[in-house]
Amino acid sequence: MNTQFKLRIKGFTLIELLIVVAIIGILAGVGVPMYNGYMASAKVQSATTNHNNIKSFVAATLTKCSTGSSSVVLGSSTRYCNQSTANWASYFITYFNSINKNPYGKNVFNGTDSATSSGGPRLGLTGIGSSGNRIAIRTNIGNESGGSAFIPDSGWIYITKE
């Protein structure tokens, strides 16, 4: 009795593997730039939200002082309302660096980016300083191509301490 066995090897052919690799390459070529664009847009949006929260918090804190409070608690520190705006700028820098995360991976504030800096804070940073009885705030929120874009577009936002 002569029996022939056909051996069937299961698997993919070389052509099938090349087609799968090509499809994966095309998907990666389209997906990675879209993902990077999404990430850049999210960083800008996050920096904008940080700026708006910082501005609102500074205004609310200074309003609390001007309506009769003698002190305000920032984190675990008590700050007295009779301090100068230069001291308050320093207090806010310390406080926001302890609670906020910069989407660009740096501190939220940089002490060298003050209201007197020509050009404003570096990418992702909020500059804060004082001018007379006012706190000055400006944020470099960046743009989707990695350049600088500021809030406000020019100058600084001033919040008066009364």
Secondary structure in 3-state letters for 16-80: HHHHHHHHHHHHHHHHHHHHHHHHHHHHHHHHHHHHHHHHHHHHHHHHHHHCCCCEEEECCEEEE
Task: Give the confidence band of 72 by pLDDT, cuts at 50, 70, 90.
Answer: very high
Q: Token pair 């996050």 is at which residue?
A: 46
Residue-range domain boundaries for the chain: 16-160
pTM beyond 0.85: the answer is: no
pLDDT digits (tens, 9 = 90+) for 110-141: 554 444 445 678 888 888 888 899 999 999 99
Separation between Cα atoms, residue 149 and residue 143, nearest integer Å:
6
63-72 contacts at long range (C-beta below 8 A, 24 or more positions apart): 65/161, 65/162, 66/161, 66/162
Give the C-alpha separation, 18 to 31, whole Å. 20
| Position 36 pLDDT exceeds 90 | no
Instruction: Write the burial class of residue 116 (CB in 10 Å: 0-12 exposed, 13-18 middle, 19+ buried).
Output: exposed
Q: What is the pLDDT of residue 7?
A: 67
Tally of CA atoms within 13 A in the half-sphere of 20 that contains its CB: 6
Rounded CA separation 161/93 (Å): 16
Structure tokens at 152: 């406000």
